[in-house]
Structure 1
Amino acid sequence: MGQPESRESPGAAGALELPPGQRLQRGWPVTHYGPVPKFKPDRWEFRVFGATADGEKHCWNHEEFSALPFTSVVADLHCVTKFSMVGAEWGGVLARTILALAPPAPQATHVMVWAEYGFSSNMRLSDFAAERTVFATHQGGELLTAEHGFPLRLVVPHLYAWKGPKWVRGVEYMTADRRGFWEERGYHNIGDPWREQRYSYQEEPGDGPEI
């Protein structure tokens, strides 16, 4: 599991320690690959499938998902392009809530998070189940904008931000690791910013499946 998202620098009172190679960002830049999808609430669905405990697919429409318990989380966002947002407030549904409502099978070890246009991001089940991993609908008390992922984006504070896709549509439980979109294209399979795991050439044995 990753280290805390922000820490006090030793010997520097009040100074935040960022992950190596990161710089503090004022504001929130828009970064994504591809066009912004149009949100169609009557056709939107969030699915949990794959290696579920009961072998069934679990689905919520937008109204049902919006009625799930809402939690606010204060957590940093570390982009692999080297900017960090510190102390951002995210509101939404905790990943642990989804895990409780649609438990994975005992043999599940990883998840693939699926988003619009077939975009995907893989991670260990333990990372997905971390205390502050959240399916965010709000940031700073306001609904996300479309450019920042409305209606739903995943925030995994202890991993680089690409691990939390915008425009999320579902989660697949997996019994073996499989690389997601950016992980197949040269990004690190784990993506821990405190270990500066940016690129696949940095991977060590056991960090991920063969490319």
Structure 2
Amino acid sequence: MERIPPGQIVTERFPILTYGEEPRVAPEAWRLEVGGLVEEPFALTYAELLALPQVELTRDFHCVTRWSRLDVTWRGVRVKDLLERARPKPEAVAALVHAYGGYTTNLLLEDLLREDVLLAHTLFGKPLPPERGGPVRLLVPHLYAWKSAKWVRAIELLDHLELGFWERMGYHWRGDPWREERFQEGPIPAASLRFRSKKT
């Protein structure tokens, strides 16, 4: 099976790309809020996150700037487990992920519910360093890396697609590396993603 998406170059390095200032959030100060269109909104501390069932997985990591790092090992908590606890409302179709420092990115709910999407706190067996998004970042390995928001602080479920920071700058609304969805070239399907009740 082919591992390298089109247009990507494999590197042994692991570049760090950050727009703006790098937030510094101590683990004891970190909080995650899960809310929006959910039945049971809640918040987690870092200690509470570590007390949940943990998953370790190894995945390839693809940056929109055309480099790929293979076999990156992460440890964290499945976002699917957190969303099941929150109980998304039927009209929820997408999410806006918020980070410390003001960064945001959008994701479809179906992408967040994949088994290998994590809130990661460990990289290669060590606590996630601040420059890589520590203490906790999102990991969405099947999409370009800008979707894996660093310093994540909230997941907000919505009934429509609301573009995040890079998406408003012209990056693709989804970011599938196998389709080379780097930049938005056609209309953004916001209207088609807005929830419609079964009665309409």
Identity, in percent, stands at 38
Question: Does 2:73 match 1:111?
Answer: no
Q: Unaligned regions of 5+ residues in structure 2, if any?
A: 192-200
Per the alignment, residue 28 of structure 1 pairs with 14
Once the two structures are superposed, the pairs formed by residues 93-172 of structure 1 within 5 Å of their partners are: 93-172=77-156
- CA offsets, 1:130-180, max 9 Å, x none? 111111111111111111111011111110000111000010011111101
Residue 113 of structure 1 contacts residue 168 of structure 1 at CA under 8 Å; is this kept in 2? yes
Residue 61 of structure 1 deviates from its aligned partner by 1.6
Q: Unaligned regions of 5+ residues in structure 1, if any?
A: 1-6, 9-16
Question: Does 2:22 match 1:66?
Answer: no
Residue 117 of structure 1 deviates from its aligned partner by 1.5
The structure 2 residue matched to 1:84, chosen from 46, 68, 73, is: 68
Aligned CA RMSD, in angstroms, stands at 1.6
Per the alignment, residue 45 of structure 1 pairs with 31
Per the alignment, residue 165 of structure 2 pairs with 181
* Amino acid corresponding to residue 126 of structure 1 in structure 2: E
- CA offsets, 1:21-77, max 9 Å, x none? 0000102111111122122344321100100024xx311122212211110011111
Per the alignment, residue 13 of structure 1 pairs with none
Residue 104 of structure 1 contacts residue 173 of structure 1 at CA under 8 Å; is this kept in 2? yes
Aligned length: 192
* Amino acid corresponding to residue 92 of structure 1 in structure 2: G
- CA offsets, 1:160-204, max 9 Å, x none? 000111000010011111101100011000100000000012x35
Per the alignment, residue 19 of structure 1 pairs with 5
